[in-house]
Chain A
């Protein structure tokens, strides 16, 4: 919930209801959302009452393990990125376009298993304590919203620990723990379902080449 966003509007509706129907006098008892749900037509098929995003997701036990071991994963990720960069000539030789499909296949499954990755294509795990921010129902990439419950769970998913509470815990374990302070740019939606590994590698290689050949002109 945001500052102004405390949704007492529903109270008005609740009051109206209690005026017309003799509900147990428990004051304003239900939210507007509850009323909407109650008014829905009855049916035998009742899916679990979670947001659509959660329906495509398993339990988050492994994700939480990754956050607890954020320091180890940070170290591993750095080595991994170096290896990928070493292989840059290989990727280039084969063609980044040609290796994209198999690399993405592996990346999607590995990161999906470890972090519940959503393939936004612009991975910032190292800045968020190895807690994937795309698992936040609001997909916040810069910190928690104001609606975090007192027990540290999500406002939208009452049984899920807040992605950003976990991110803060994870980042405290990490060497580069101040990376969480960077203000992240909005997600570039056009990069969805692309490989972040290859993108980072290609960018690092380009930066390395630019640094290796400075001021020789015609660098464009």
Chain B
């Protein structure tokens, strides 16, 4: 008999966990964070396809290295498989997805419906975002909705969870059990407002936040200092966003084309001076993790390795942030394995089994 892993429902990996006192969700991420363990989350590159295997394969490379996976909602305003769809697939397989909801494409009617639908599928974590402007994406002619903003979206989800009501006041028969997240960017002006803005997000309902890419550790340290002074870090789990840069050229491109990502010159110089820029980018990411993990109030990291997803495991391993802990890993159950072996045997091994033979071998 294989014992089930920690943070797994023994009745089935796709089922929500037992409710715990003080927890608002029945998911794995909240448990990890509330136990005080250093959490690791990452982001799944959404496929441009209708094949569920694409999602499963992309999730598989994170197995045993991350506590939750962000299902992005058409990030950069580019069209991809929807976050609801990705979450539906991931929850089936027992993963803990963080469903991102962007206000760009849906009005409050659609969003509240998605929150209920997601929660019903077993999504325990939702990340409330404003979303990029449509001008940034592959369909700039789309109508920008922005009916809610990230703050009012957070509040809407909190009202649905805590008051059991829609925004209109109509009652829900079963409220969603959610762990609510938000995004913060300490690296964009107005810098002195950002920690206060975080406080506002906490007031609206944020329980964890993921930051934008951190390449400027001193700047992040200042932000965290202010957040600590305001008492925010006691009310919210801060996951610092990190990621490897593929090359100095990419870094420059990001700096000039992707608003909101701040890359200091020193970083680019360091990449330029390296023999193997890709390797140096990875090393740089590990170094940044090692610095930010020591900052008081940082509860985890959010590794965004777009199109370098295979490096997430290495980066997490090399930085040693898990301290030997292994996050939940998808394992094949023993009975499933027996069926698979048997099928494999029948289909691929050249055998002719008759009932008479089987009786003989059984004796």
Contact = CB atoms under 8 A, between A and B. Distances in A.
Interface stretch (B11-19, B149-157, B267-275, B324-332): B149-157
A132 B21 CA distance: 43
Interface string B254-277: 100111111000000000000000
Interface in A66-122: none
B260 A155 contact: yes
A46 to B, nearest CB: 15
A58 interface: no
A33 B149 contact: no
Most buried by A among B199, B261, B302: B261
B132 A33 contact: no
A13 B213 CA distance: 22
B197 A156 contact: no
A186 B200 contact: no
Most buried by A among B135, B184, B199, B212: B135
Interface in A8-65: 8-13, 26-29, 31-33, 36-37, 51
Interface in B19-77: 43, 70, 72, 75-77
B79 to A, nearest CB: 9
B150 A142 contact: yes
B151 A8 contact: no
Given A1-B132, A7-B132, A165 B190 contact: yes
Interface residues of A, number: 53
Interface residues of B, number: 70
13 contacts: A2-B130, A3-B212, A4-B43, A4-B100, A6-B261, A27-B249, A138-B146, A139-B146, A139-B149, A142-B204, A144-B190, A147-B188, A164-B190
Interface of B: 43, 70, 72, 75-78, 80, 100, 102-104, 108, 127, 129-133, 135-140, 144, 146-152, 155-156, 167, 183-185, 188-190, 192-193, 196-197, 199-200, 203-204, 210-213, 241, 247, 249-250, 253-254, 257-262, 302, 304, 306-307
Given A3-B129, A6-B261, A32-B76, 18 more contacts: A1-B76, A1-B259, A3-B212, A3-B302, A8-B306, A29-B253, A33-B137, A36-B138, A140-B149, A140-B150, A142-B150, A144-B189, A144-B193, A147-B185, A149-B259, A150-B262, A164-B190, A186-B156
